[in-house]
Amino acid sequence: MPELPDVEVFRRYMDATALHQTVAEVVTADARVVQGATPADLATFLRGRRFERTERHGKHLFAAVDGDGWLELHFGMTGFLRYYQGADAAPAHGHVRFRFDNGYELAFVDRRKLGHVAPVADLAAYLAELELGVDALDPGLDAAAFRELANGRRGQVKCWLMDQATLAGLGNVYSDEVLFHAGIHPRRRLEDLEGADLDRLHGRMAGVLEAAVQAKVRPEAMPAGFLLPLREVEGARCPRCGTSLERVKACGRTALVCPACQPLPG
DNA sequence: ACGCTTCCCTGGAGGC
DNA sequence: TGCCTCCAGGGAAGCG
C-alpha cells in the first residue's frame, strides 16, 4: 500500500541507485502495467537515455529522462522498486525491467499489477490531467491553505484526507495515523470540524509523514506511539491510553481507531 | 458533490 | 489436500 512516505522512500532508493546510467534495454514481462504506450514504444522512448533526477507528487513518482520527457511510476497497492545485478537476484513479479549498460537492472515489481509505468511528455500538463491536489508535504501548504482545502466541503473527514484531488499522498494507512494523532474519528463530518481541529490535523500530518520517511517506512522503526505497527496485531491496544483498538468501516476502507482518543459524537 | 458499489488484480487466510 | 470465499485497499467508473 504505497502512500506518500513509501513513494518518497522509493524515490530516494532510485536516486541512490539508478540515476545517470544509460538504459540499454527495457524488458516488459507483462504489458498490463505499461500505460499510455506499447512496451515497444516505451523501450524506444528510453533506450540510450538516462534517468537524471526524480520528483514525487503525492503517490506518483516521476523520473526525468535526459533529453526530454519523464517516466511515471505509480505503485498501486503492491508495487516497489528493486535494483540488482544478475538473473539470480531478479525479484518475482518484476513486470518491467530497465537494464542499464553497467549490467544492473531496475525492476518495477508489482505482484497485483494495480500500478503502472508510463512515458510522460509534459509533466505539468500530465499533473493537470491527473487532477492531483497539493502534495501533502508541499512546503507551501500552511495551516491557512489547509483550512482552505476544507472550505465548502462535506462528508467523512477520512474521505477528504484520502481524496487525491484535494490532498495528494494520503491513503488508508496514513490517513488513519494522522487522524489518530489528531484525536479525530475517521467518520467525523468534515463540516462539523472546528478550525482548531483542522489546524491539529495539518500539524500532525507533516510530523507523521516525515517521521515515516525517516523510519524508511519500516513499522519497527516508527516512533513510539504510532498506530501503524499495530495494524496487523490482533487485539492491539492504544499506545496512548491502552484502550482496545477498533476496526471501523470508513470511506469504503477498514480504519483503525482508538474509541477513547478518537470519540465519535452522536 | 457525496456515498455507495463494482471492477481491476493476486495471494494469503480461514471454513468446510 | 483442495476448493471456495473473503479480504487486503489504490484508483477509476457508474449510479442514485
A58 sits in the region (left: phi over 0; alpha: psi -120 to 50; else beta) called left
Q: What is the pLDDT of residue A83?
A: 96
Q: What is the pLDDT of residue A53?
A: 97
pLDDT in tens, A158-184: 999 999 999 999 999 999 999 999 999
Could you tell me which residues come within 8 angstroms of residue A125 by beta carbon, excluding any fewer than 6 positions away?
A: none
Q: What is the pLDDT of residue A59?
A: 96
For chain A, what is the domain count? 2
**Domain final residue pick, A92, A111, A130:** A130
Q: Based on the domain organization, do A83 and A145 belong to the same domain?
A: no
A182: domain CATH number is 1.10.8.50
Asked if strand C comes closer than 7 Å to A77 Cβ, the answer is: yes
Q: What is the pLDDT of residue A173?
A: 94
Q: What is the pLDDT of residue A252?
A: 86
Asked if strand C comes closer than 7 Å to A254 Cβ, the answer is: yes
Length A135 CA → B15 C1' (Å): 44
- Judged against a pLDDT cut of 80, whether residue A65 lies above it is answered with yes
Q: Based on the domain organization, do A59 and A156 belong to the same domain?
A: no
Length A246 CA → B16 C1' (Å): 29
User: Which residues partner with A241 through β-bridges?
Assistant: none
Q: Based on the domain organization, do A120 and A162 belong to the same domain?
A: no
**Domain final residue pick, A104, A130, A156:** A130
Q: Based on the domain organization, do A48 and A114 belong to the same domain?
A: yes
The fraction of chain A above a pLDDT of 70, given in percent, is 100
The pLDDT confidence band at residue A221, using thresholds 50, 70 and 90, is very high
Q: What is the pLDDT of residue A67?
A: 82
Asked if strand C comes closer than 7 Å to A61 Cβ, the answer is: no
pLDDT in tens, A79-110: 999 999 998 899 999 999 999 999 999 999 99
Q: Based on the domain organization, do A109 and A146 belong to the same domain?
A: no
Helix axes A195-214, A172-182, angle to 10 degrees: 120
Average pLDDT of chain A is: 94
A59 is catalytic: yes
**Domain final residue pick, A78, A97, A130:** A130
The residue ranking higher by pLDDT, A8 or A87, is A8
Q: What is the pLDDT of residue A87?
A: 87
How far is the C-alpha of A189 from the C-alpha of A160, rounded, in Å?
Answer: 10
Q: What is the pLDDT of residue A1?
A: 77
Nucleic chain B contacts, Cβ below 7 Å: A 32, 93, 111-114, 153-156, 159, 189, 252
Length A94 CA → C2 C1' (Å): 29
Domain residues for the domain of A58 are 4-130
Length A164 CA → C12 C1' (Å): 12
Calculate mean pLDDT across residues A186-209: 95
Tell me, yes or no, if the pTM score tops 0.85: yes
Residue A156 in any domain: the answer is yes
Q: Based on the domain organization, do A140 and A229 belong to the same domain?
A: yes
Q: For B7, which residue's CA is nearest its C1'?
A: A114
Length A27 CA → C3 C1' (Å): 36
User: What positions of strand C are covered by protein, i.e. any atom < 7 Å from a CB?
Assistant: 7-12
Which is nearest to A52 in space by CA: A70, A64, A67?
A64
Q: Based on the domain organization, do A26 and A121 belong to the same domain?
A: yes
Q: What is the pLDDT of residue A111?
A: 92
Q: Based on the domain organization, do A168 and A199 belong to the same domain?
A: yes
Which of A11, A56, A59, A204 is labelled catalytic? A59
Which is nearest to A226 in space by CA: A188, A179, A260, A193?
A179
